[in-house]
Amino acid sequence: MTLADSRGRVLAVGFFDGVHLGHRRILDGADVAMTFRNHPLEVLRPGAAPALIMDFDSRVAAIKSCGVGEVVALDFTRELAEVPAGKFAESLAGYSRIRCGANWRFGKGGEGDAAFLSRLGFAVDIVPYAEYAGLPVSSTRIRVALAAGDMESANAMLGAPFAVRGTVVPGKGVGRKIGFPTVNLSTGAFLPPIPRGVYAAECGALRGVANFGVAPTAGDSAWASPVLEVHFAAAPDPAPANGDAMTVRLTRFVRKEEKFRSFDDLRARIALDCQNVFG
């Protein structure tokens, strides 16, 4: 098994969900990053697999934004899970250094770690944790913060606002009718690990008020799955077209999604949300 042309290059290893402050330390100075397309727990213990912070393409883009030239993505399978640590280590031969976190494990049963590689003669950098509020930054902590709508803590640990990447889809027309036109993004199979509700949002230089949810006031099944609907303070120019890709950053959780008795009530609440976000 060969991961890449390894000659003399520095390899960073990890799953890197979120590419948070700690991950960026590991990636710093690396030429190549090794990750998995799917989370190992999806194979080993499907019921315990976490909701991911990023979809795969966003994760690769974020890793490369750290200065890494190449991302090697492996499919985690039951066959790979059975590969002994020593055999897996053979695929790392030739790299000048391996950079990892203290909790990185590999090989059957997780028997391999940084110390294991060192005993085999590899040069290994165990990168210290980044900290936030006196505790190590981790993808798990970020997921907990996101699930609670604590965008401030999540974004501080990520080192950037949490981003939702989606495809522009046709809307229901309700926002335009009540004076708050929206751009609507479907995230496809990827479900962001955030509560349904209203957020302060940014897209490039544009500020917006976003609702992540199913538009219950327009009918219980208005959206079959949650969609991010964004009302911008100024209309995007050019206007996004259906099928366009767009990334929206969420900076603050404002309130939970609600079902209103009427569109007049919805209009009044959105006006308050805009005042809250835009000032």
CATH of the domain at 258: 2.40.30.30
In angstroms, the CA 108 to CA 159 distance is: 33
On whether both 121 and 169 belong to a single domain, the answer is no
Does residue 22 sit in helix, strand or coil?
helix
User: Using only C-alpha atoms, what is the Rg of the chain?
Assistant: 22
198 shares a domain with 130:
no
Instruction: Indicate if 115 and 200 belong to the same structural domain.
Output: no
**CA dihedral sign of residues 138, 144, 149, 152:** negative
- Strands 10-13 and 97-101 come out as parallel
Q: What is residue 184's three-state secondary structure?
A: strand
Kind of pairing, strands 227-232 and 206-213? antiparallel
Domain span at residue 44 reads: 10-136
pTM (2 d.p.): 0.94
Residues 51 and 165 in one domain: no
Distance (Å, whole) CA 189 – CA 170: 17
pLDDT score for 223 = 85
Identify whether 102 is part of a domain: yes
Let me know if residue 253 belongs to a domain. yes
pLDDT reported for residue 3: 53
Which CATH number covers residue 97? 3.40.50.620
Predicted confidence at residue 4, as pLDDT, reads 52
DSSP code at position 229: E
User: Cα separation of 55 and 40, whole Å?
Assistant: 15
User: For the chain, which residues score pLDDT lower than 70?
Assistant: 1-7, 220-221
Helix or strand holding residue 250 (H, E): strand 245-256
User: Do 125 and 222 fall into the same domain?
Assistant: no
In-domain check, residue 2: no
Q: How many domains does one find in the chain? A: 2
Q: Is residue 143 part of a domain?
A: no
- 174 plus 258 within the same structural domain: yes
1 within a domain of the structure (yes/no): no
Residue with tokens 């981003």: 163
240 and 190 within one domain: yes
38-73: burial string, b at 16+ Cβ within 10 Å, e else: bbbebbeeeeeeeebbbbeebbbebbeebebebbeb
Same domain membership, residue 166 and residue 119: no
- What are the tens digits of pLDDT across the range 30-50? 999 999 999 999 999 999 999
Do 91 and 199 lie in one domain? The reply is no
Residue 16 lies in a domain: yes
| 273 Rama sector, left if φ>0, alpha if ψ -120 to 50, beta otherwise | alpha
**Do 56 and 121 belong to one domain?**
yes
Same domain, 126 and 211: no
Would 24 be classed as within a structural domain? yes
Measure the CA–CA gap between 63 and 138, rounded to whole angstroms: 16
Residues 179 and 254 in one domain: yes
**Residue 152 domain flag:** no
Provide the pLDDT for residue 1: 46
